């Protein structure tokens, strides 16, 4: 099953501030953690290497997988496989109807900068 997460980051003026290449002219980009929690009927599929997954070039490697929780880190300069969000895959473990928890995005520097999607009901078919 293909999981797609679309996101939008606030505008930023990070990077080199002029053509000089000194450390004083560089503003670091804000990094955001995107966390998704799969319903219990699904299990995260992680790749064991680089390349494509099932013939698709739309696959982003998670930074961390812990049980049903999948985390990615993104910034203004992050390039995702599909260019409009994050894509990863899950395997059906138990078919059924489940409540999917919201996906969260959080700033790594400012915990007050965060947002989340809506919780949705998901039907998992074999």
Q: Hey, what domains does the chain have and what are their CATH numbers?
A: 2-6+25-124 (2.60.40)
- Render 88-100 in DSSP notation, one character per residue: EEEEESS-EEEEE
Q: What is the pLDDT of residue 101?
A: 93
pLDDT at 13 over 60: yes
Q: In this model, does residue 83 exceed pLDDT 90?
A: no
Q: According to the model, what pLDDT value does residue 23 have?
A: 59
Q: In which band, very low, low, confident or very high, does the pLDDT at 118 lie, cut at 50, 70 and 90? A: very high
* Cβ atoms 98, 41 nearer than 8 A: yes
Higher pLDDT pick, 55 / 26: 26
pTM for the whole structure: 0.77
Q: Which pair of structure tokens corresponds to residue 56? A: 């698709």
What is the mean pLDDT of the segment spanning 101-107? 94
23: phi then psi, degrees, rounded to nearest 5 = -60, -25
What single-letter DSSP state applies at residue 64? E
Residue 93 near residue 43 (C-beta atoms within 8 A): yes
Q: Could you give the 3-state DSSP secondary structure of residue 24?
A: helix
Q: What is the pLDDT of residue 53?
A: 46
């Amino acid at each position: 099953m293909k999981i797609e997460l679309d996101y939008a980051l606030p505008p930023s003026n990070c990077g080199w501030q002029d053509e000089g290449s000194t450390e004083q002219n560089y503003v670091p980009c804000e990094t955001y953690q995107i966390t998704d929690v799969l319903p219990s009927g699904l299990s995260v599929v992680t790749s064991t290497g680089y390349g494509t997954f099932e013939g698709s070039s739309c696959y982003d490697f998670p930074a961390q997988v812990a049980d049903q929780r999948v985390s990615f880190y993104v910034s203004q300069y992050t390039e995702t496989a599909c260019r409009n969000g994050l894509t990863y895959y899950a395997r059906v473990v138990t078919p059924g109807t489940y409540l999917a928890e919201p996906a969260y995005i959080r700033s790594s520097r400012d915990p007050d900068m965060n947002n989340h999607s809506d919780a949705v009901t998901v039907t998992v078919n074999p």
